[in-house]
Chain A
Amino acid sequence: MSNVNVFAVKTLTQKEYFSSGHRACQGCGETLAVRLVHKALGRDVVVASATGCMEIVSSPLPLTSWEMPWIHVAFENAAAVATGVEAGLKALMRKGKIPNKKIHVVGMAGDGGTADIGLQALSGALERGHDFIYVCYDNEAYMNTGIQRSSSTPYCAATTTSPAGSVKPGQTTWKKNMPAIAAAHNIPYVATACPSYPMDLVEKVKKAAETPGPAYVHILSVCPTGWGMPGEDIIKFGRLAVETGAFPLYEIENGRYRITVDVPELLPIETYLKPQRRFRHITPEMTEIIAERVAKEWELLKRRVEFSALD
């Protein structure tokens, strides 16, 4: 909606459902996103979390940061467990064992748990039409195990398993378009968000929670450790990702596209790429290729928005 809403943030709840004292790196964008998501969802939540950064940093035995029912499951079945929880709650409500009210069931995973390992469970859950929210916290590699590439790693990014050198430019494939895959299941709500735009993220999560049926929210979580940047700059890089068109913020409501944070003129992609360590090797030719692709995808997205406005 708006670029700077200083006072609107004060309308959020003051309760913390993801408590401090966890072991995330300084400047972790993912914890910020988790905190905002759960501020938006409130207290009646059951979370099924896949393995990943967030599980490691938030639940070292015997401690936990989660002030809500939270289940840690394997990498591949966060969505399957979330749907099981949803079906279970539905059955308990039908039998009158628990009061009949809306309890949000959330499946959460990183980009590895969503785009690589957990994809079939997620696809199944979306296709079966369970009433749940799936949140993907995308930090664009397997950061927790030491920065290995995932299918969500962008082109040319250097990771430990896609190192940049004289032969290879780093990651040789493009970032997998997860929101498009989720939207292809014809689910009622798909959105992309970024904690640099907190009210936008909160509104989208609230909308996802209110939507009956499955909803998918893809959140870009800037990772200062894996991306190679100072921890205090994560908000800036989240905004740059949006303003350069590398990660446009939009939502798909019943097939209708809408850009939520409009960028009248995209910034040059170098401003986003160059200060990151994982992109420090890129040559002007590589930048050109990336810029072309980003511009093309932005144009395609705008076309889709226009097309949705037609009917």
Chain B
Amino acid sequence: MVTITIDGKQIKTEEGQNVLQVALDNGINIPHLCYHENLSFYGGCRLCLVEVTKANRTRLTASCTYPALEGITVETNTENVKKARRLVMEMILPMAPDSPKLQALASELGITEPRFHYEDPDGCINCGLCVRACEELVSANAITLANRGDTRSIEPPFQEEPLACIGCAACLYVCPTDCIKMEEKGNERRIVRWERKLEMKTCANCKRHFMPLAQIEFAMHKVREPLDAGWFDNCPDCR
């Protein structure tokens, strides 16, 4: 057990956690965009900046990647922190100006008109949540972060249709700006952002389209013991 101080509140917590986790577990709200509790830490959005004092030295750091060490003092709402967060938000908001979640966060931080502009924003803020979800939750590895600096973006390999994508839509659920969309028409599912088209399996009994063929193949490949050949002929309701 380690004891840390967040906003003057002494908190006992288990070792191995990061400051953001401890704060959220104890009802202290730190705005964040690229953190998801089921995924690894990334420190990409820099919105969760806090002031950490360790051994008389204070510095500004991202709380999602800073470990909760014995005796550190964390301030989450000083003028310095707020100023830094506002700058970060001013850079993030123009990338996804239509996202209601970002707009709400920005107005909370007191931003009306960001100083920076971004040419044709597509809603993606490069937080990398979809990449990590695809890798860690699904292990399909269909998308990746490409390029560096201001050209950094999330792309399928070679900017082509990602054939490793199984159409599970996990990226859709973790996206903080909702810039990944899915369409379903007949027996075709489309993940719009990755331009992935998937054919759906049709249930032999009720004729419903219930799962992409690629996902079935993926599942068959994953289970060690072979399933019955007819297991995926029917949807879960008709089995």
Contacts and interface: CB of A to CB of B under 8 A. Distances in A.
Interface of A: 1-8, 10-15, 43-44, 99, 101, 199, 236, 239-240, 243, 264, 267
Of the four ranges (under 10, 10 to 19, 20 to 34, 35 or more), the interface on chain B belongs to 20 to 34
B138 A239 contact: no
Contacts of B209: 3
Contacts of A15: 37
B138 A11 contact: no
A2 B184 contact: yes
B182 A1 contact: yes
A4 B208 CA distance: 11
Contacts of A5: 168-170
A8 B173 contact: yes
B169 A10 contact: no
8 contacts: A2-B184, A4-B210, A4-B236, A5-B169, A8-B170, A11-B137, A43-B24, A199-B173
A63 B38 CA distance: 29
Contacts of A236: 237
B38 A14 contact: yes
A101 B137 contact: no
A11 B211 contact: no
Contact of B168 (A8, A99, A243): A8
Contacts of B172: 8
A14 B29 contact: no
A43 B169 contact: no
Contacts of B182: 1-2
For the complex of A and B, the 7 pairs showing the least CB-CB separation, nearest first, are A7-B168, A7-B170, A10-B137, A11-B173, A7-B138, A3-B210, A8-B173
A264 B207 CA distance: 10
Contacts of A8: 168-170, 172-173
A13 B172 CA distance: 16
A257 B160 CA distance: 37
Contacts of B184: 2
A11 B170 CA distance: 7
Nearest to B168: A7
A5 B189 CA distance: 13
A11 B237 contact: no
A1 B169 contact: yes
A13 B38 contact: yes
* Interface SS of chain A: loop
A211 B50 CA distance: 29
Nearest to A15: B37
Contact of B235 (A3, A101, A267): A3
A3 B137 contact: no
A6 B29 CA distance: 30
Given A11-B173, A43-B27, A6 B237 contact: no
Contacts of B38: 10-14
Nearest to A5: B169
Contacts of A13: 37-38
Contact of B174 (A11, A199, A243): A11
A248 to B, nearest CB: 16
A143 B206 CA distance: 33
Interface string B117-143: 000000000000000010001100000
B182 to A, nearest CB: 7
Given A2-B169, A240-B237, A7 B137 contact: yes
A148 B41 CA distance: 52
B82 interface: no
Contact of A6 (B37, B168, B189): B168
Interface in B186-219: 189, 206, 208-211, 215, 219
A243 B205 CA distance: 14
Interface in B54-105: none
A99 B172 CA distance: 32
B170 A10 contact: yes
B173 A4 contact: no
A85 B173 CA distance: 31
A48 B158 CA distance: 53
A13 B137 CA distance: 13
B150 interface: no
Contact of B29 (A2, A101, A240, A264): A101
